[in-house]
Amino acid sequence: MSRPSLITTRLTVDLAKASYDICIGQGILNDAFGLLDGLVDPREPVAMVTDETVWALHGAGLAATLLEQGLNVTPVVMPPGEQSKSMEGLETLFAAFSDMQINRSSLILAFGGGVIGDLAGFAAASYLRGVPYVQIPTTLLAQVDASVGGKTAINWRQAKNQIGAFYQPRLVLIDTDTLDTLPARELHSGLAEVVKYAAIRSKSLFSELQANTDRLDLPSVIAQCCQIKAGLVEIDELDLGDRMLLNFGHTFGHAIEQAGSLSQVRHGEAVGMGMVIAARIGEHMELTRQGTSDSLGMLLSAYELPTRSPWAPAKLMPLLASDKKSKAQSIQMVLLREVGDAFVQQISIADLSRAIDEME
């Protein structure tokens, strides 16, 4: 028997052209039909993009309920994992959208983790030059990060998020009940992104995470992360300034993922290791308060996350060339002055290599 729904938090991402709400709560997918009201004419086709795992756990039930309530939903079920976030995956969605006669008055539901959110969002941005979509994230990582802000993408030639678009959803529905079925490793991977938000913007959240490693109030933590992200997106939608702070840990994190062929290491795990590397570099360059990397490492370890990359930072340097923040001979890297205070630093590749060599 499903729990009664409860929206505990409703936030608004207030943008000039595409403001939308983030609804957070327990069991709110029980009210999905009502929450989607006004976003699509029930007579229009609705594509529910999901993966095989989420379909079996949650998707089939939600699709059946929406159909019973009068929404014209057709599922598109993808294989789980990063392999779906590809040109081939994109073509699969385009073919499905064509078959079900998706049009600009239709709606696409991105129902799953970050891979599905990124893939379905980019398909929505691209098909017919833009079809409305809703993010319904089912993993902690997607709930605190990937579902908010309109970054959509696929991977290409082993490079993470190399082809994509900024395309905002019409609504984000975060049902924390979906976390009940999340494997422990995936939950911990999402907590790495929670630590990231605390590290860049909230010393109080960092302290809360330190004090409650065995009893986190996840709905509250998710809301705090979404509030931080919404604020950064509102002032920098296209990732040209303050929003870049959200990339803390991602410079080396993405390189770690690529070194493992995007499969050996979870995204959050890679970001956690990347955060520790970034803090160590900042400390070595005397830009970060000494001891910050130790604080990050201890907190990540408390949430059963790895803190040391399987590959030495020097070995990862050649992979930084594909980073979207890199320029000819330098890279924009997010560093910390201290916990809760992040900034973007332009570092030459030569200086970065030298610092890493000296650290090792």
The model's pLDDT over 91-120, given as tens digits with 9 standing for 90+, comes to 999 999 999 999 999 999 999 999 999 999
> In the predicted model, is pLDDT for residue 2 greater than 70?
no
pLDDT score, position 158: 78
What are the C-alpha distances in Å from 318 to residues 212, 251, 322, 355? 39, 12, 9, 15
> Is the full-model pTM beyond 0.85?
yes
> In the predicted model, is pLDDT for residue 3 greater than 60?
no
| The two three-digit tokens of residue 101, written as one number | 């006669």
Question: 277-298 pLDDT, tens per residue?
Answer: 999 999 999 999 999 999 999 9
Collapse the DSSP code of 284 into the 3-class scheme (helix H, G, I; strand E, B; otherwise coil) and give the result. Answer: helix
Closest CA to 249 of 257, 260, 241: 257
What are the C-alpha distances in Å from 280 to residues 59, 101, 172, 288, 291? 42, 52, 35, 8, 9
